[in-house]
Amino acid sequence: MIGENEVLEGTLEHDGTEIDCVKNVTPELALKNDLVIYKDNALVWGRFDLSKVELKIVNALIALINPLEPFKKQNQWNFTKADLENLGVSSIGNLHRHIDEITTNLQSQIIRLPMKDKDGKQIDDGKSFEKVNLFYKSKWDDKEKIASFSFHPELEPYLINLKGHFTKYHLHHVQGMESQYGIRLYELLRSIYSLEKVKKGNFSISLPLSYDKLREVLELGDKYPRFSNFHTRVLQPAVDDLNTTDIDVKYSFPDRLTPKSTAKVKTIVFTITTKFGYHPTKIVKGSLVPIEGENEVRLSVKRQLNLFFKSSVSDRLIATYGVTRCLSNMKLLSAEDSATKIKNAAGWLNKAIEEDYANSDTGADLVDLLKVSTETDVHKKRFLEEQLMPIWPSLESEEQRDFLQHRFDQGAVAVRFAQYYAASLSGNIPAPAIQVKTVNAKADRDAVNAELTNLLNTDWAF
């Protein structure tokens, strides 16, 4: 399984638990399943020139690999005619002729990889490299209409028993893309903005990438030498593809300070936000409309849950609690700033769905929501345990939500903490609050207003 460390620095290990990969390879690919791709980051950042269809074939093959089993036990993967059609192989001309051309190109394809030292660390000097063939054998059975592929043995360290830096992402996100550059850019960004970061609550990130390095990895060579051409023919179509996946991507050019600037672009900054907690939609006559089909909605919700859990866990949550409950609690997690200080977003979401935080009358248990152990300030920790937790059920939902969003920065609870902190500094530590089961909303509001009035004439220098 993937360990507790980030995917970027994780290890695939045999420990008896399930990982997201194919266990029993069958003649049929079942492309619509939630297959997962694991790649060493050297392979992700390797240089090769493949068409959109060829990239989709390679990614689908990698998704079939069990990353814990050596090649000698599994190194032949089959596609049926239906699989090939889903991948777009037969969309142009005769299937036999097209698969002949593709297998020839794939088998002759050489990948330029960053060289590694004896400890497996990449040597990033811009000069050292190693080159490996992608496949060593491919077959086409015209009678059965089955294509078979075997990866080159030299690629095994980049796909099997991965240790150190590697990337995980779901196959379905790239299989519908219209641009080969979208496929490549998605996995490049995902190699830095890993799913483990998402699980820990990092829902947005900014990534600066060198323009020259990006051109190099995409194997553009002499294509689109003018930046304006690169922008319209490569970058924008790729980002359009990315925005149909689990991330929303925007980009900027910090070297160009104004819209009319023609300064040389050296860096592209990508701002990436993870998308979840939304009802699936589709385009009908140019407009977005909600998808109502039960199976389609279920699949969308499962794929959103898969950002945080293994596929089997997502299935269990949906089967036990239903898609509506799962979706509403994901929406709660994705609310603006509501989870930015929750270290374990996956654990929080699992608990939220089980206890249905989104539809709770009194709000969730403060211990689960705040993960009190994340507060290192002794005064805040004591305030949470002795003052806030006992009265939490009695607070109005607006106060609860305000505190969960802003913590100690603003709001009625922040005012209470300021008073508690001032008293503590003077040696008059307030006694622990008495557990409250009911709330007098008017009295509570009056007390908060009084506290706010007192605060106006107080200098909280801390």
Buried/exposed code over 245-277 (b: 16+ C-beta within 10 A; e: otherwise) = bbbebebebeeeeeeeeeeebeebebebebebb
Q: Which residues pair with 205 in a beta bridge?
A: 272
How far apart CA 306 and CA 280 sit, in angstroms, is 15
Give the per-residue pLDDT at 93: 53
pLDDT score, position 209: 94
User: Which residue from 140, 219, 174, 158 is spatially nearest to 60, judged by alpha carbons?
Assistant: 174
Q: How far apart are CA 395 and CA 274, in angstroms?
A: 31
pLDDT for the residue numbered 23: 40
Give all domains of the chain, ordered by start, each with its CATH number.
1-176 (1.10.10.10), 177-275 (1.10.10.10), 278-359 (no CATH), 371-462 (no CATH)
Residue 218, pLDDT score: 94
**Alpha-carbon Rg for the chain in angstroms:** 26
- Note whether 33 and 303 are within 8 A (CB): no
Q: Which amino acid is at 3?
A: G
Residue 225, judged by CB atoms within 10 A of its CB (0-12, 13-18, 19+), counts as exposed
For residues 168 and 37, is the Cβ–Cβ distance under 8 A? yes
Ranges of residues in the chain whose predicted pLDDT is under 50 = 1-19, 21-32, 92, 336-340, 361-375, 438-442, 444-445, 448-449, 451-462
pTM, full prediction: 0.71
